[in-house]
Amino acid sequence: MNAYLRSLPLALAAAAVALSALAQPLPSPPPAQDDTRARPPTVRAPLPPSLPADARTVEVPAPPPLPAPAPGVLERSVRGAEARGTDVQPSRWRSDLNQLDADLRLRLLTADAPPAAWLAGELDKTDIASQVRHYTDARTLAPQQRLYQASLAAACLVPVRPHVLAPCDAVDRLADWARRDDDNGVPAVLLADRARQRGEADSAASYVEEAAGLPRFDDYWSQGAIEWWNYLQPLALPFDPAVKAKAAANYAASRDLRWAASLHALCIEQPGARSDRMRVACAKLGDALMARGATFALRRAGAEIADANVADAAARAHVQASRTRILAATTNCSQAQPDFNAALESASAEVRARGIEQFGAWARAQARDGEVGACQRLAAK
C-alpha cells in the first residue's frame, strides 16, 4: 500500500522470509509509486508483507453517497481508497515526486528540529547508522514524543555487522521506550523476542504474558502521515500542492512493521517447540491484539497468532469469527475513507484541492485516534 493511507498488515509466512524481510532495513520505495485503481465489488483485505495473504474475501456493499461536508471536516467516501482492482496507473506527478524526493534528502541532511530529524531517519532506510543518528537526534530533542522513542528502539534492534551503533550501545533504547510507554504492549512484545533470541525462554514468556494484559497496542504507525504533512505543507516548493500531499501519503505508507517478525518468531514459528506456557500466553496476546490494537495490521496480527495457538475447536471458531469481523472492519475503513489518490491525480484544480483538504483531515484524525479509532469515528458518521 504505497499510496493509500492507512492499514497495512500480519498473516503466516515462512520463517526465513519473515525474519530476513523485517529484521533488516528495507530500501525506500520510489515516492512516485501509486495505487489508483477502480474498486471491484468484492475486496480482499491486505495482510502484512511478512506473511501469506489470508484466503478469506469479505464482501461489503458500498456505503450510500453522503453530502459534502464543510471545509476541513473529514468525509466518508462512496468509493474505497483501498478497495480497488489490480491495475496500477502511473502517477501524473511521477517526475515532480522524484524531484521532491531529491530535494528533501538534501534539506534533511542538516535537520536541526525534532520532526525534521525523524523524517530524515525515515528516509535513511538503507543506512542504519545514519537512521539511528537521526532518530537519536529527534528522541533527544523531544524526549516525550513516543513516535520518536518507538522509532529509535526499533532501529536499534536491527542487527548490523560490525556493531557500530553507539547511540544504541549507550542506552537500552527498547527498555527506555517500554519504561516510558508502560501501558503499551508493543514494546513488551519486542522485549520478549529479544529474550527469546538470547535463549531466555522464561523471560520471553513473562514478557508475552505482560503484553497480553496491557490496555493498548500501538506502534505509532498512524502518526506518520501527519508528521510528513506538517513538514511538507508549508514548504515553499515549485510543485503543485497535490504533489506534497501525494508525497506525504506515500512516505507515511512505506513505514516498516518491525514488530511483525517478533510476533512471528514468538508465536507462530516452530509450534512444536513452544512450551505450554508460551502457547497459552500467545493465545491471550492474540486476543488482546484483536481487541486493542491501534491499527488493523496489529489486529490482524492478533487473529493470526490467536489462531496458531488455540486450545480447542471452540476457541478456533471464536478466533475465526473475530478474524472475519476484523477483515470486514478493515475493508469498511478502506471504503469509507476519502479516496485521496483519485482526487490528487485529477486534472481539476478544485478536485485536487478537495483531496488535499481531506488528506490533511484524515492524517489529523489518525494521529489523534489511531487508525482503528479514526475509522470508527468515520463510520459513526
Query: What is the C-alpha to C-alpha distance for residues 36 and 79, in angstroms, rounded to an integer?
Result: 12
Instruction: Quick: pLDDT tens for 238-282.
Output: 999 999 999 999 999 988 899 999 999 999 998 888 999 999 999
Look at residue 12 in the predicted model and tell me its pLDDT: 33
Of 6, 68, 72, 38, nearest to 255 (Cα)? Answer: 6
Place of cell 475509522: 375
Which amino acid is it at 48? P
Say how far residue 259 (Cα) sits from the centre of its chain: 10
Domain residue spans in the chain?
15-380
Average pLDDT, the chain: 81
Are 190 and 174 a contacting pair, CB within 8 Å?
yes
Q: Under DSSP, is residue 239 helix (H, G, I), strand (E, B) or coil? A: coil
Mean pLDDT of 292-316: 95
Phi, psi at 216, each rounded to 5°? -155, 160
Band (61; pLDDT cuts 50, 70, 90): very low
Query: What is the C-alpha to C-alpha distance for residues 181 and 201, in angstroms, rounded to an integer?
Result: 24
Residues 6 or more apart whose CB falls under 8 angstroms from that of 197 comprise none
The larger pLDDT score, comparing residue 62 to residue 216, is at: 216
Mean pLDDT of 132-140: 95
* Most confident segment among 9-23, 60-74, 265-279: 265-279
Q: Give the CA-trace dihedral at 214, 324, 268, 184, to 10 degrees.
A: -20
Percent of the chain with pLDDT over 70: 76
Query: What is the C-alpha to C-alpha distance for residues 261 and 239, in angstroms, rounded to an integer?
Result: 38
DSSP letters, 313-361, are HHHHHHHHHHHHHHHHHHHHHHHHS--HHHHHT-S-HHHHHHHHHHHHH
Query: What is the C-alpha to C-alpha distance for residues 256 and 290, in angstroms, rounded to an integer?
Result: 20
Are 231 and 252 a contacting pair, CB within 8 Å?
no
Mean pLDDT of 98-113: 92
Grid cell in block for residue 46: 491486505
The larger pLDDT score, comparing residue 93 to residue 3, is at: 93
Look at residue 2 in the predicted model and tell me its pLDDT: 37
Q: For residue 369, is pLDDT > 90?
A: yes
Look at residue 201 in the predicted model and tell me its pLDDT: 95
Mean pLDDT of 137-165: 90
The larger pLDDT score, comparing residue 119 to residue 63, is at: 119
Mean pLDDT of 224-237: 95
Band (90; pLDDT cuts 50, 70, 90): confident
